[in-house]
Amino acid sequence: MLSYTDALTRLLALARPTDGETVALADALGRVLVDPVVRAMVDVPPFDNSAMDGYALRAADTPGRLEVVGESMAGAASVSDVRPGSAVAIATGGPMPAGADSVAPVEDVDLVGGTLVVPAAVTLGRHVRSSGHDTRRGEAVRLGGSLTSPRLAVLASMGLGRVEVRRRPRVAIISTGDELVEAGAMLGPGQIHDSNSVALAAAAVEAGAEVAVLPRIADEADAVGGALRSAAAGRDLVVTSGGVSVGPRDHVRAVIEADGRLDFWRVAIQPGKPLAVGSLDGTLVIGLPGNPVSALVTFELFVRPFLRAMVGLAGDGRTRLGATASARLPKDPRRRAFMRVVVSRSAGGELVADPAGGQMSSQLRPMAEANALLVVPEGVEAAEDGQEYEVIMLEAVRDQAP
Ligand code: AMP
Ligand code: MG
């Protein structure tokens, strides 16, 4: 059985970057530039302008009494020049008039019968935003990572309206299992609601994928084979849940092995041991275990970093911290465990990890309650009360109840 790190390394080695597509900035939130180095089309700011509402003037004329000869508002070129002894009223963002070198803010001056009184000396260049002082035209600016609101703003300020980003990975999500019915449907004898389709589709969207949820597959080898092949067509990744264990009606792994190529099966983790990875017709297939917590945890540990790698993002994008377990949680010593915990900051400032509830892989509500996974290494039989472990934060650290 592969270790967690070996399995992740082998999976990520199979990731191929998607091709690029050009999108408007309005559609680029969360996307990743194909080339993170972008050249500015214009100087930022494009012209010398005022940082304050006030008067553009010559510092050498201050302190003193000046004649106001015009105005420079934002959005238009300044018409009046500033000659010795004169000033131009200027708005924040208004272009600096020719001849002016500084701005005196409204708050620092007086207008007495049409004459501007500047009582104190103005420092040369004060409150002037000179052209190109943020970025020069043609300058290379690196915007790595996914596009956030500030990064989009930088692109807009540099004169770009559209950018080339990595295409979202196309992902098919399929649940397998004779017992499953659609969320919201009436249950017959022995049936349960298909929560994995809902959960995995949402998790894939969160990880940046373009998702298609395909019809559930019955536990029959022929049905599994046909459905997986048609899911693979035109997609970058097929994610299944269920049917990868050793039961008589678990067909997913066998079908991948028979019709395609199985890269690996079973990883020494808890939950999620029966994870299967392979490909069909050149499309990667990741078979997640059916238990709802196993499906979500293995998505988090494997599918999420894989989807990110396909658009050129490193890692899983999660913060890792250290937190002290507040209870003993037994585990299988042969496997690395990822336990559902709530991490909060104690009064003393230390991070504490409380079990979010039962740790069975069928127990979804503790998974929903948890804000982190507590990582307990191979070779030990439990997470020990009072000992510190790595936690993978899925949400923010919680405030402890007072
Ligand atoms: P399997 O991996 O197919 O043996 O499934 C393991 C357990 O997970 C069984 O109790 C299944 O009923 C349950 N399960 C499988 N698929 C789903 C699903 N899509 N939604 C909710 N539970 C599931
Ligand atoms: Mg099943």
- pLDDT tens for 236-285 read 999 999 999 999 999 999 999 999 999 999 999 999 999 999 999 999 99
- Distance of alpha carbon 377 from its chain centroid, rounded? 27
Q: How many CA atoms lie within 13 A of 194 on its CB side?
A: 25
Q: Which residues face 388 on adjacent strands?
A: 324
List, in sequence order, every residue forming a beta bridge with 371; answer none if it has no partner.
none
pLDDT digits (tens, 9 = 90+) for 48-69: 999 999 999 999 999 999 999 9
Q: What is the pLDDT of residue 401?
A: 63
305: how many CB neighbours lie within 10 A of its CB? 21
Mutate to test the pocket of ligand 1, among 192, 239, 250, 299 (most ligand atoms within 8 A of CB): 192
Considering only CA atoms, which of 165, 174, 194, 156 is closest in space to residue 240? 174
- Class assignment of domain 49-129? mainly beta
Residues listed for the chain:
402
Q: pLDDT-derived band of residue 400, with 50, 70 and 90 as boundaries?
A: confident
Residue 330's identity, in one-letter code, is P
320-399: which CATH topology? Answer: Beta-clip (2.40.340)
**Could you tell me which CATH class the domain 4-16+168-310 is placed in?**
alpha beta
What the block records as the tokens of 46 is 């494009």
Task: Enumerate the domain spans of the chain.
Answer: 4-16+168-310, 20-44+133-166, 49-129, 320-399
> Which ligand 1 atom is at minimum distance from the Cα of 195?
20
The average confidence (pLDDT) of the chain is 97
> CATH for 20-44+133-166?
3.90.105.10
Mean pLDDT of 98-111: 98
Predicted TM-score (pTM) of this structure:
0.95
Question: Which residue owns the Cα nearest ligand 1 atom 16?
Answer: 290
Residue 247 Cβ contacting ligand 1 at under 6 Å:
yes
Q: Which of 174, 176, 180, 294 to mutate to test the pocket of ligand 1 (most atoms within 8 A of CB)?
A: 180
Confidence class of residue 402 from pLDDT cuts 50, 70 and 90?
low
Ligand 1 pocket member 360 (CB < 6 A)? no
Evaluate: CB of 388 within 6 angstroms of ligand 1: no
CA of 180, nearest ligand number? 1
pLDDT of residue 112: 94
Q: What is the pLDDT of residues 6-22, one digit of tens each?
A: 999 999 999 999 999 99
Which pLDDT does position 233 carry in this prediction? Answer: 97
> What does R_g of the chain's alpha carbons equal in angstroms?
30
**Which residue's alpha carbon is nearest to atom 15 within ligand 1?**
290
Check pocket membership of 196 for ligand 1, CB cut-off 6 A.
Answer: yes
Span from the CA of 245 to the centroid of ligand 2 (angstroms):
8
Q: Does the C-beta of 180 come closer than 6 Å to ligand 1? A: yes
